[in-house]
A and B are shown apart, each in its own frame.
Chain A
Amino acid sequence: MAVTEPVIAVRDAGVRFHRGKRHRSMRDFLIRGERGTRPGEFWALDGVSFDVRPGEAIGVVGRNGEGKSTLLKLIAGVMLPDRGTVDVTAGVAPLIEITGGFVNDLTVRDNIALTAGLHGMSKADIAERFDDIVAFAEIPDFLDTPYKHLSSGMKVRIAFAVVSRLEEPIILVDEVLAVGDKAFKRKCYARIDELVAAGRTLFLVSHSDGDLRRFCSRGLYLRGGRLVEDGPMADVLARYETDAGT
């Protein structure tokens, strides 16, 4: 197991959030710096360390607000740790807040080009995969419709279609499987299966035991921002259930 280099190395990572007051004063920033814990702060993620090797499929469990999404954002690089380091040595396709990158006033066509481009897909690749993406999302009639006029289900479908087409070695999935109708869900499952089979590294956050058991071999259990268990998925789920039951 220790032969391959990890693609994700998280070392003592911590993220501190502010409870209540949204903005700190200018004085705090400029004079006191960002050291120390002040009242009203808490660590959404605290001293988390683990390695992920290429091809692993990891499920993250924990109750709401225990740091799962924060962990994924760190790996996606859209949040930075206040303590420790997060080293990701391969590209990431983040299926988190996936509709976030879409712009309401642009057409679906422009949006696909923009989002794919921002995630690092080249122009040639976009052109090549465009039909695939449209077919997957089942939206051929809406290509020139402004994004804002689509139903929320369609929005998620396009977003999933684009981001899941990114040829990145790491895929992050955060609860997106909960949306969409049954038929589309099945397609998403098939697509994720395909990606995992192709040797991608998967990071899945879910509240569904079925999904977790289906895709993941290794589990991470977060409680109160700390990593309390890291082991085979079944064991981690068993521990989580015991905790939830008491």
Chain B
Amino acid sequence: MSVDEAAVPAVLAARTGGSARRRGMVARPVALWQRRRAIRLLVGRDLKVRYASSALGYLWSVLEPLLLAGIYWFIFTQVFTRTVGAEPYIVFLIAGLLPWTWFNGAVTDAARALHVEAKLVRSTNVPREVWVVRVVLSKGVEFLLSLPVLFLFAFLYDASVDWQLLLLVPAVLLMATLVLGIGLLLAPLVVLVRDLERIVRIALRLGFYASPVIFAVQDVPEPWDAVFSFNPLAGIFELCRAGFFPGVVDWGHVGLSVAMSLGMLLVGWAVFARLERTVLKEI
């Protein structure tokens, strides 16, 4: 019985280990779900380190987006005359910067997830996706915990609030999907090609200005607005802002976000499954 497993895609290969039985793209999410306790444990540990171990823990997690918001608010309302975004601009900024902080932090950390936890990955038989999912969720919880700051500023600056605030829910789901997809794609690649980590950091820097954080896609002149529409973050940020700025949501952008996030997740997971065995040897 010589099954040449190398000839079939790794995704379909049978490797049964402990309770985690994985065969292909259906079984992988199932195996992950079975080990959700491990994920909860790791996320809990992350949050504990973040919030319990330093008195300023909570402040740290909102400080960066707030400082950035302050700086952009100053530059674009005091130095320049603001022509982009919407009023109150500080709320517009925070509603974009908080989800951007999640995206930025999760992609940076997820890319290094397998590399940084090499010792744990080598010694524990949990589905390897756990290490990426854990980062996405930890950063996601930090995002949720930072939302009160957004509401506080909306209240202080007397922003209008309506039922579309509920669109934050699909925004969170979309962001989690997108970041998980990107993380699953990058984590194994960073183990194999170390300099990719640096490229990711540069790409994120540029990505900030390629994403509608300090402006809206509608502010981008033709023909460039078409390019910005294809950024999956455009739809997500619009959903985040919908509750305070009526009419900001372009459902075309949201549709593209959904399609691209799901596509990213499929591609990311396929690459992850394909590279898993090589990564386990190199790590």
Chain A interface (Cβ < 8 Å from any Cβ of B)? 11-12, 15, 17-18, 22-24, 26, 29, 34-36, 47, 76-92, 94, 96-98, 100-101, 103, 105-106, 110, 113-115, 117-120, 122
Contact = CB atoms under 8 A, between A and B. Distances in A.
Contact of B124 (A86, A90, A105, A119): A119
A76 B125 CA distance: 7
Given A78-B123, A80-B13, A12 B19 contact: no
Contacts of A12: 1-3
Given A34-B10, A34-B278, 14 more contacts: A22-B282, A24-B192, A29-B192, A29-B275, A76-B17, A77-B15, A78-B121, A78-B122, A82-B5, A86-B16, A100-B122, A103-B120, A117-B37, A119-B125
A197 to B, nearest CB: 23
Interface in B243-283: 274-278, 280-282
A185 B271 CA distance: 44
Contact of B19 (A80, A86, A91): A91
Nearest to B13: A80
B186 to A, nearest CB: 13
Majority secondary structure of chain B interface residues (helix, strand, loop or mixed): helix
B5 A77 contact: no
A106 B5 CA distance: 40
A104 B193 CA distance: 26
A104 to B, nearest CB: 10
B206 interface: no
Contacts of A17: 281
Contacts, number: 126
Contacts of B122: 78, 97, 100
Contact of A77 (B3, B7, B17): B17
B193 A23 contact: yes
Interface in B141-167: none
Given A12-B1, A17-B281, A83-B5, A118 B126 contact: yes
28 contacts: A12-B2, A23-B193, A24-B192, A24-B278, A26-B193, A29-B192, A34-B10, A77-B15, A77-B18, A77-B125, A79-B280, A80-B276, A81-B15, A81-B277, A82-B5, A82-B277, A83-B4, A87-B16, A88-B17, A89-B16, A91-B19, A97-B122, A101-B119, A103-B120, A118-B42, A118-B120, A118-B124, A118-B126
Nearest to A113: B41
Contacts of B275: 29
Contacts of B18: 77, 88, 90-92, 120
Given A85-B5, A91-B19, A101 B124 contact: yes
A118 B45 CA distance: 12
B26 interface: no
Nearest to B191: A23
A84 B281 contact: no
Nearest to A98: B123
Contacts of A105: 49
Interface residues of B, number: 42
Contact of A100 (B2, B37, B123, B281): B123
Interface of B: 1-7, 10, 13-20, 35, 37-38, 41-42, 45, 49, 119-126, 192-194, 274-278, 280-282
Contacts of B277: 79-82
Nearest to A25: B193
A147 to B, nearest CB: 12
Nearest to B118: A100
Contacts of B49: 105
A127 to B, nearest CB: 14
Contact of B41 (A26, A78, A117): A117
Given A29-B192, A85-B15, A94 B2 contact: no
B41 A118 contact: yes
A45 B193 CA distance: 25
A100 B37 CA distance: 20
B27 to A, nearest CB: 14
A97 B1 contact: no
Nearest to A159: B123
Contacts of A87: 14, 16
B163 to A, nearest CB: 39
B3 A11 contact: yes
A222 to B, nearest CB: 18
Contacts of B7: 35
Contacts of A24: 192, 278
Contacts of A89: 16
A81 B280 contact: no
Centre residue among A34, A80, A89 by max chain B CB count within 10 A: A80
